[in-house]
Amino acid sequence: MDIEWTPALIAAAWAVILGGAGGALTEIGQWYRGLKKPSWQPPDWLFGPAWTVILGLAGWSFYVGLTQAPSPEERLGVYALFAANFVLHFLWSPLFFKAKRPDWALYENILLWCSVTSLVVVLPRLVGESFAGWLNVPYFVWVSFAFVLNWKIVQLNGPFNPAR
The pLDDT confidence band at residue 158, using thresholds 50, 70 and 90, is confident
* 8 Å CB contact between 13 and 98: no
pLDDT tens readout for residues 67-87: 999 999 999 999 999 999 999
Helix segments in 26-101, DSSP class H: 30-34, 44-68, 72-93
Q: How high is the pLDDT of residue 162? A: 57
Contacts of 12 (CB under 8 A, 6+ apart): 59, 63
Contacts of 33 (CB under 8 A, 6+ apart): none
Nearest to 133 by CA among 19, 49, 57, 50: 57
